[in-house]
Structure 1
Amino acid sequence: MKAFFVSSSAVSEALRYSVMRSQSALVKAQKEATTGFVADSGLALGARTSQTVSFARELERMKAIVSTNAVISSRLSATQEGLDRVSDLAQSFLSTLTTNLAGKTTSRVSVDEANRTLSTLTSVLNTNLNGEYLFAGINTDQKPLADYEAASASKAAYDAAFAQYLADTGASAADPFPTPADIDSFVTNYMDPLFMGGGWSDWSSASDQRISSRIALNEKTDTSVTANNEGIRKLVMASTIVIETLSGDMDEAARGRLIESTMSMIGEALADLTQLRAETGMTQKRVTEASERLGAQADIFERHLLKMEGVDPYEAATRANDLLGDIEASYALTARIQQLSLLKFIS
């Protein structure tokens, strides 16, 4: 018969290893109870792990696009509100000019309305949302429309064009438009190139290129508006012409032609703005529908991942509690064993 010697140290070490294993299992059980998924998908699924990794990656892409679409929707909503205000400004300006043409108001009223239109239009187009200018195209860090004031580049550009008109036609500054034909020449040959051509760069720092965003896994679209839209240019041109030319003395026929010409510009601007508002509304709808589709797809992916990697959170929580109880019991037993000593036994 053999005698076996068991030391308190050996028992203590065995308990320590048991506690370490229980602690490792407790971490896994607590993670599974919290997340609802297996702690180690590779260990649980083996060869199918690559499939779940692919699903998880696609799911994260979908969620990222949905999150981005929410920001895009906010930007488009603010843009639509701005376009509505611009259209209202144009309609009000057109009504004032119509009344002036009928002789029911003075030119001073039209000039004041033109100043209000241009000032408010500049403020709307320079709207900033989350640090980005809404109407700047891809130049989101630059203010789209410069203020029209005495020392501005836009004012200097107009003055240069007007001076060139006087030099070319020999007209006097006191009476620059003696006939309706002079109005037509001024608008066609000097104002159109200034606002509808390369001269627009003195007014606008916006980019012609609009922001393009991915709104679905396989769908991209333009999600911004630029101040370089023709409708906006025409409204700025009409406002500027009225401000600069209608305030002085003018032949009645020439005055009538000037008002008719600017009314035509505003009418064209309203048509362009209506088209732009419709396009923006369609883009809003596409973004909303794309987010709904992605949300439905994400739900399918989540259910599939849960089926492959999911665990019963209640079972995991029970297992974690049991392990925690075992660890506490091991700690208590270890403390009792460490108190054993031959000196205490002899005494």
Structure 2
Amino acid sequence: MRTTFVSTMSLWNSSKSTLDKLQTNLIKANKELVSGRESDVGLKLGYKTGKTLSLRQDRAELDALTDSNATALLRIKSATTGLNQIRTNADKFRDALIATPIGESSIAALKYQAQVNLAGAISSLNSSTGDQFIFGGLNSQKKPLNDYFGNPAPSAAKAATDAAFAAAPPLGFGMAQDAAGVSAITPDQMTAFLDGPFADLFKGTDWQNWSSASSENVQSRISPQEKIETSVNANDEAFQKLTMAYTMILDLGIDNLNAETRAVLVNRVVETLSDSTTGLTGIQSKIGAAQEKIEQANERMSLQKDILDEKVTHLEAVDPAEAKIRVDQLMTQIQTSYSLTAQLKGLNLINYI
């Protein structure tokens, strides 16, 4: 017969090793109970681990698109607010021009209101969200419109307007706006100027005196399969006509024109404002449609995320009741182990001699 050496130290260390294992299992069980997910998904799923990783990646992509859509919606709503203000002011100014007899007593008030409206429109078009300008198109890092009212030096746009007016006939009138000879400008001369040199100031390369915006709008992927434009730029024809109309009142010598030529100018302002507000309404309809598409995409992606979450849960989830039972069992075993260890620690051969 063979005997084996046994000591209280070996018994004590044996229970200590078991205790370490129980504590490790308790940590895992607690983690599963709190998260509702297997502590080691790869160990449980084996070759199916790739499937759950793919599902989680799809879920993360939908989350990223939803966050991107929130930014696009903020940009669209901010643009809508600015467009509403610009269009409302333009409509009121046009109505005032139609309703008010244009005489010397009303010209000063009309010029002041045109200046206020133009400054307000420029301010709205230069609005931003975060560090991005809403109406800059792709060039969202730079302020879209330059200030027309330069101080102390005139802006490039105003200098171009003054130069066009003072250009030698037949391109211009060969005089400054406050010259006495302005009263001799005929309706036909004013019409030719408005249709030609003046109109050219608000399109093509001359428009760069006004705008630093990109003519290409921001495109955003709003769902895994859909990509749309989600911005507006200040180079749209509606904004060009808006600034043109206000500038006609401000800087074409309306104070000194004779009654017939002044009527031609005012009628052209009314016509140009009407074209501008029609264009602004079209822009609002366009971005309104984009907003609706984004909201619909968000609803679809929300449903897709719920489906993905359900699939992931099916693969990775643990039974809460079973996890709770395991935690309780492990706690009982640990407490028992602590009790045995304490008893073993108290064993001493001297007590039995």
1:156-305 aligned at under 5 Å gives the runs: 156-164=159-167, 168-169=171-172, 171-173=174-176, 174=179, 175-176=181-182, 178-305=185-312
Which SS does the other structure have where 1:215 is aligned? strand
Q: Scaled by the length of structure 1, what TM-score is found?
A: 0.91
**Relative to structure 1, is the Cα distance of residues 170 and 178 closer, same or farther in structure 2, using a 3 angstrom cutoff?**
closer
Report how far residue 258 of structure 1 moved.
Answer: 0.6
Q: Which structure 1 residue ranges, 5 or more long, are not aligned? A: none
Q: Any conservation in 2 of the 1:101–1:256 contact (CA below 8 Å)?
A: no
**Relative to structure 1, is the Cα distance of residues 170 and 289 closer, same or farther in structure 2, using a 3 angstrom cutoff?**
closer
**Relative to structure 1, is the Cα distance of residues 340 and 17 closer, same or farther in structure 2, using a 3 angstrom cutoff?**
same
More moved, 168-177 vs 275-284:
168-177
In 2: Cα distance, 1:196 partner to 1:213 partner:
28
Report how far residue 56 of structure 1 moved.
Answer: 1.1
Report how far residue 209 of structure 1 moved.
Answer: 1.2
Q: Any conservation in 1 of the 2:137–2:232 contact (CA below 8 Å)?
A: yes
Report how far residue 99 of structure 1 moved.
Answer: 2.5
In 2: Cα distance, 1:247 partner to 1:103 partner:
10
1:106-145 aligned at under 5 Å gives the runs: 106-145=106-145
Indicate yes or no: 2:89 matched with 1:89. yes
In 1: Cα distance, 2:41 partner to 2:96 partner:
71
Residue number in structure 2 paired with 1:320: 327
In 1: Cα distance, 2:189 partner to 2:257 partner:
12
Residue number in structure 1 paired with 2:44: 44
More moved, 320-329 vs 35-44:
320-329
Q: Deviations over 1:99-123 (max 9, x none)?
A: 2456697222221111111011111
Q: Any conservation in 2 of the 1:246–1:255 contact (CA below 8 Å)?
A: no
**Relative to structure 1, is the Cα distance of residues 172 and 295 closer, same or farther in structure 2, using a 3 angstrom cutoff?**
same
Q: CA RMSD in A?
A: 2.4
In 1: Cα distance, 2:251 partner to 2:70 partner:
43
Q: Deviations over 1:245-275 (max 9, x none)?
A: 2543111111011111111111110111111
Q: Any conservation in 2 of the 1:30–1:320 contact (CA below 8 Å)?
A: yes
**Relative to structure 1, is the Cα distance of residues 258 and 305 closer, same or farther in structure 2, using a 3 angstrom cutoff?**
same
Indicate yes or no: 2:53 matched with 1:53. yes
In 2: Cα distance, 1:117 partner to 1:18 partner:
82
**Relative to structure 1, is the Cα distance of residues 182 and 51 closer, same or farther in structure 2, using a 3 angstrom cutoff?**
same
More moved, 274-283 vs 136-145:
136-145
Q: Any conservation in 2 of the 1:12–1:337 contact (CA below 8 Å)?
A: yes
Which SS does the other structure have where 1:213 is aligned? strand
Q: Scaled by the length of structure 2, what TM-score is found?
A: 0.90
The one-letter code matched in structure 2 to 1:286 is K
Q: Any conservation in 2 of the 1:96–1:113 contact (CA below 8 Å)?
A: no
In 2: Cα distance, 1:263 partner to 1:15 partner:
95
1:65-76 aligned at under 5 Å gives the runs: 65-76=65-76
More moved, 173-182 vs 82-91:
173-182
The one-letter code matched in structure 1 to 2:200 is P
Q: Any conservation in 2 of the 1:111–1:246 contact (CA below 8 Å)?
A: no
